[in-house]
Amino acid sequence: MAREFDIAPATEAERAAGHIAIRKLWREDLDAVVALDAHATGVAKPDYWSETFKRFVPPTARRCAFAAERDGALVGYVMGEVRSWEFGSPPCGWVFAINVAPEAREAGVGTALLDSARAAFRKAGIKSLRTMVARDATLLLSFFRAEGMTAGPFVELEMPIDPGGSEPRT
């Protein structure tokens, strides 16, 4: 069955040359997203992604989910949503997941995915983009800085719920 591409699908010649196409995420991408995420973070979260797909695939005006595809295989994804008035923050586009397969990195795929999310937020009338990055995630920090992001106006604070306890970081 023919599927919709947001950005022009690769021609046969481009496929042969390993062209990467950006399109909306499909439900059929779930297993590939679980696998890519598990590879990047070291933790497989099939239940989390299954629930997330229910809310983001297919996307809505305020939720976006894009895939990067090469030779019929998923090599990257980005997901984000408009969040409004959390902690007094005006509506803002949040990117909460971006991931490119190691063999497809450093070729502009992450940039193309982030550009797709930005375009979706722009279409929704949103003026700013936000994300959260672990302090030691130097690759993600380098990437987002290169894309033009800088420190935002909020600071995340946290504490263990019980003395001596803390959540594992993934």
Ligand X SMILES: CC(C)(COP(=O)(O)OP(=O)(O)OC[C@H]1O[C@@H](n2cnc3c(N)ncnc32)[C@H](O)[C@@H]1OP(=O)(O)O)[C@@H](O)C(=O)NCCC(=O)NCCS
Site of interaction with ligand X (CB under 6 A): 40-41, 97-100, 105-111, 139-140, 142-143, 146
Contacts of 166 (CB under 8 A, 6+ apart): 160
Nearer to ligand X, 12 or 103 (CB): 103
Q: Minimum CB separation from ligand X for residue 88, in Å?
A: 25
Nearer to ligand X, 24 or 99 (CB): 99
Q: Minimum CB separation from ligand X for residue 125, in Å?
A: 25
Q: How far is CA 65 from the centre of its chain?
A: 7
Distance between CA 144 and CA 3 in Å, rounded?
30
Nearer to ligand X, 99 or 116 (CB): 99
Nearer to ligand X, 66 or 143 (CB): 143
Contacts of 67 (CB under 8 A, 6+ apart): 22, 23, 24, 25, 26, 29, 74, 76, 77
Q: Minimum CB separation from ligand X for residue 87, in Å?
A: 21
Q: Minimum CB separation from ligand X for residue 154, in Å?
A: 19
What's the distance, Cα to Cα, between the start and end of the chain in Å? Answer: 37
